[in-house]
Amino acid sequence: MSSTGTAMQYENIKVEKKNQIAYVAIARPKVLNALNKATVEELRHAFQAAKDDLEVRVVIVTGEGDKAFIAGADIQELAVQTAVTCKEYSQGGQAVINLIENLGKPVIAAINGFALGGGCELALACTIRLAAPNAKFGQPEVKLGIVPGYGGTQRLPRVVGKSAAMRLLVTGDIISAEEAYRIALVDEVVAEGELMARAEAIAKKIVGNAPLAVRYVMEAVNKGLEVSTEEGLFIESALVGIACSTDDKVEGMRAFIEKRPALFKGK
């Protein structure tokens, strides 16, 4: 995985890798990093590459410039969709958002401006959400006569609760970073100019942990939220058993006893 995007040349995003962290930036600042079909496909390719790259432990996703993370879908492209193609448009985006949520590696959203519509939906799928003070959030689709199509009606209530989600979804209101933090839409509001440094600091903590254990924790949470507590506990105990069979478990226990940093290999 490199800035050239492995075997694919990217036109709408930028991808880098260093210190076991993959960086993905939506790079369409002239249209506030709006998501068109081509950009969604490039994101799918980039995140699949990150998933398959054994060296990558964490992904940080952001928007280029200082105005927008992702300001929503490309309205010019969306306006000409038919009922059939609009459904396909939605399902294609949902597949990429699902890939991000279930990557098996934490994805940190460094939200540096507008996160509206598809941008808010993409952020909702990320493991951790950090916001700059100027970040703005919203699902304004009802103002355009449409419905959120990249998972907003499903993930937003799961993250902030039904009432707060309904208010945002039916009013189309755009809220500040501080309000997003108040309703738990973001985990932190980071001081101006420190967003990427904070994201990298969290990423480095994750890199130091056992990658298989991190993956299993994420699976337990994501799958457990969709079933009963009893079924979730069964999923958890099964993943505990799998984790106990790994070389990383042996190394983690040994390092603890020997009072030294563990050297995890993801095996």
* 121 is known as an active-site residue: yes
Token pair 């990217």 is found at 10
Nearest to 38 by CA among 30, 46, 148: 46
Nearest to 190 by CA among 203, 177, 179: 177
* 141 is known as an active-site residue: yes
Q: Could you say which of 141, 178, 188, 219 is catalytic? A: 141
- Please state the separation of Cα 70 from the chain's center in Å: 12
Instruction: Provide the angle, in degrees to the nearest 10, between the axes of the packed helices 211-224 and 247-257.
Output: 110
Between the alpha carbon of residue 5 and those of residues 44, 53, 201, 267, the distances in Å are 11, 12, 24, 26
Q: Name the DSSP class of 20.
A: T
Q: Could you say which of 121, 178, 192, 231 is catalytic? A: 121
Between the alpha carbon of residue 3 and those of residues 6, 26, 28, 61, the distances in Å are 8, 13, 16, 14
Host H or E run for residue 61: strand 58-63
- Please state the separation of Cα 5 from the chain's center in Å: 19
Instruction: Provide the angle, in degrees to the nearest 10, between the axes of the packed helices 118-125 and 152-160.
Output: 50
Q: Which residues does 8 contact at the CB level (< 8 Å), separation at least 6?
A: 42, 45
Tell me if 14 sits within 8 A of 20, measured CB to CB: no
The catalytic residue positions are 121, 141
